[in-house]
Amino acid sequence: MRAVEQLADQVYAPTGMKPAYAYIMMALEDTHPQTIMQLSTTLGYERSSISRMVKTLAAQQLVTLTAQGRATSIDLAPASAAFLKTANDCLIKFGQRTDDLLGTTKAPMTDLLTENNLKLREDFK
C-alpha cells in the first residue's frame, strides 16, 4: 500500500497538495454541498482528518465552509475550477500509470481491495 501512496503522491504533485485533498475536491465535484460527516463516510477518512483538510482547502479559497447547527457544510468555491481540472487530469494519469504497471492484475486486485475495504469498514460501524 505504501507504493500506491508514493505513486499517488507523485502523480498528484501538480495539484500542490497531497492526493487526499484532491479526493475531497472531486467528491464535492460529484455531489455538493456535503457535510464533514458525509465526506468522511464517502472517503473513509476520520471526521477530524476531513475537518482539518477542508480548513486547509478553505484557506486556499477552494471551498467554502458554512455552519449549519452542529454540522459544517462544504461547497466548492469559484476558484476550485482550475484545481479540479488539474486533479481530474491527475486521476486519469493515475489510472493510466496503474494500468501500465499492473496490467491484467489491476482489475481483480482492485475488486478484492474494494471488497475487503467494505468488510473492514462494516466492522467499525
Range with the poorest average pLDDT among 2-6, 51-55, 57-61, 82-86: 2-6
∠ CA 66-79-86, nearest 5°, is: 120
Residue 39: its pLDDT value, please? 95
Residue 2: its pLDDT value, please? 84
The pTM for the full model equals 0.86
| Position 124 pLDDT exceeds 70 | no
Averaged confidence pLDDT in the chain: 91
109 close to 99: Cβ distance less than 8 angstroms: no
2-124 — its CATH code? Answer: 1.10.10.10
Range with the poorest average pLDDT among 11-15, 17-21, 41-45, 83-87: 41-45
What does DSSP assign to residue 33? S
